[in-house]
């Protein structure tokens, strides 16, 4: 059994404990396995509030797969195109904060983001706003992303 098949089997086993109707497809994109879940009726059960459940499913699968293969397996779980919708929402948010920073020349702070969300915003701002920079400050639940002018000195936590 190849990795894709094992990932699919383990994902189906985990999901069957949560919801009744779903399909799972696994695509290997240069060593990162896209785990695509489709479900009709129980979407909120699988995604969770602000994507908390989808992140938990991903983390649990990462642990299961590490135990199976003895090595880290990079996966990204997506449910009913949640990640694409999330990216659009985050890019809109990043644009708003970037424009606010540009007009005020003061740093803007975005709270309550996962590390994945911070990464997406960082990449978007870097690509689309060359005069701005992003960095994270704080720890744990207090961690926040800073959007700032490249000419400003970084704010300390």
**Residue 154: inside a domain:** no
Q: Read off the pTM.
A: 0.71
Whether the predicted pLDDT of 52 surpasses 70: yes
Instruction: Give pLDDT, residue 140.
Output: 85
Instruction: Give pLDDT, residue 51.
Output: 85
Residue that finishes a domain, picked among 24, 56, 80: 80
Whether the predicted pLDDT of 156 surpasses 60: no
Bigger pLDDT: 116 vs 105 = 105
**Residue 155: inside a domain:** no
**Residue 46: inside a domain:** yes
Looking at the structure of the chain, the number of domains it has is 2
Closest to 32 in 3D by CA, of 60, 61, 4, 66: 4
From CA 107, how far away is CA 154, in angstroms rounded? 9
Closest to 114 in 3D by CA, of 74, 55, 72: 55
**CATH number where 144 lies:** 3.30.1370.50
Q: Which regions of 3-131 does DSSP assign to beta strands (E)?
A: 23-29, 32-38, 74-79, 108-110
């Amino acid at each position: 059994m190849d990795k894709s098949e094992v990932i699919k089997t383990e994902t189906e086993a985990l999901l069957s404990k949560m919801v009744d109707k779903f399909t799972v497809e696994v695509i290997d994109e240069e060593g990162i396995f896209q785990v695509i879940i489709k479900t009709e009726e129980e979407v909120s059960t699988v995604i969770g509030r602000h994507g908390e459940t989808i992140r938990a499913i991903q983390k649990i699968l990462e642990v299961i797969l590490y135990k199976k293969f003895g090595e880290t397996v990079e996966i990204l779980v997506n449910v009913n195109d949640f990640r694409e919708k999330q990216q659009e929402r985050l890019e809109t948010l990043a644009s708003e904060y970037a424009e606010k920073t540009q007009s005020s020349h003061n740093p803007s702070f975005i709270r309550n983001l996962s590390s994945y969300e911070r990464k997406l915003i960082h990449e978007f701002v870097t690509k689309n706003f060359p005069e701005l920079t992003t960095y994270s400050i704080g720890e744990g639940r207090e961690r926040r992303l800073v959007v700032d002018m490249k000419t400003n000195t970084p704010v300390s936590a």
